[in-house]
Amino acid sequence: AQSVTQLDSQVPVFEEAPVELRCNYSSSVSVYLFWYVQYPNQGLQLLLKYLSGSTLVESINGFEAEFNKSQTSFHLRKPSVHISDTAEYFCAGKAAGNKLTFGGGTRVLVKP
Amino acid sequence: DAGITQSPRHKVTETGTPVTLRCHQTENHRYMYWYRQDPGHGLRLIHYSYGVKDTDKGEVSDGYSVSRSKTEDFLLTLESATSSQTSVYFCAISDPGTEYNEQFFGPGTRLTVL
């Protein structure tokens, strides 16, 4: 079974500063990894996904995630955050039977 | 946005009463899922369905049942609600025919059991 761990429950950050959200996974089978974002009082939206190929995956709103097999990590980064990036971010990995296992979430609070 | 709606969006009920939550999709995706979201736990899978009348248990299925009589509808029932079932419930759908089979989520239902 695959488990996913998000190492930080909350990350305060100032506007225009960089942010990194850490995610580690454990699995001995194929790797499908995802990052989702949840804005206040909304459902989850897919931010980006990884299966194979380039280890750096980019999303349309400036986030990127790097897959690192040796460290079993899939950290999410953004070089310069905006107030609108305030949200909760979830890392997820696919387990058997097309089920997703989610990390506990990281709440990002962007301060002006 | 994926065409997923959940009803009701908010519900307050009393301990011991039955509650049914509905998820409706217009995407014709074969797989559907019910999750609950609680602080510090992320999302946890309650039940899922891989086709009409085909369902299976997730990691937190005790106290919940589901039914899927049509592709577009997936119902979650709490037979006798308890305070521990106060949570936000999310429905998700996915298409197993795609490479990633990524899941798309509905807007959620906030359930309070008094």
Higher pLDDT, B78 or A31: B78
B62 touches chain A (CB under 8 A): no
Q: Contact A45/B105, CB-based, under 8 Å? A: yes
State the pLDDT at residue A2: 63
Q: Among B64, B67, B73, which Cα is nearest to B19's?
A: B64
- Phi, psi (deg, nearest 5) at residue A85: -85, -5
How confident is residue A29, by pLDDT bands cut at 50, 70 and 90?
Answer: very low
Question: Does residue A5 surpass a pLDDT of 50?
Answer: yes
Q: Which residue of B has its CA nearest to A43?
A: B107
Average pLDDT estimate for A29-55: 86
Question: Does residue A28 surpass a pLDDT of 60?
Answer: no
Q: Among A26, A32, A23, A27, which Cα is nearest to A76's?
A: A23
Q: Which residues, 6+ apart, have CB-to-CB distance to A110 below 8 Å?
A: A13, A14, A15, A81, A82, A83, A84, A85, A86
Q: Which residues, 6+ apart, have CB-to-CB distance to B80 below 8 Å?
A: B16, B17, B18, B63
How confident is residue A26, by pLDDT bands cut at 50, 70 and 90?
Answer: confident
A46 touches chain B (CB under 8 A): yes
Cα dihedral B3→B105→A53→A60 (10° resolution): 70
Report the DSSP beta bridge partners of residue A44: A38
Q: Among B2, B6, B1, which Cα is nearest to B91's?
A: B6
B45 touches chain A (CB under 8 A): yes
State pLDDT tens for residues B53-96. 999 999 899 999 999 999 999 999 999 999 999 999 999 999 88
State pLDDT tens for residues B15-42. 999 999 999 999 999 999 999 999 878 8
CA of B99, closest CA in chain A: separation in Å? 9
Q: Among A92, A65, A76, A63, which Cα is nearest to A5's?
A: A92
State the pLDDT at residue A10: 95
CA of B112, closest CA in chain A: separation in Å? 15
B112 three-class SS: strand
CA of A49, closest CA in chain B: separation in Å? 8
Helix, strand, coil shares, percent, chain B, to 5 = 5, 55, 40
What DSSP string runs through A15-69? TTS-EEE-EEEE-SS---EEEEEE-TTS-EEEEEEESSS-SEEE-TTS-EEEEET
A80 touches chain B (CB under 8 A): no
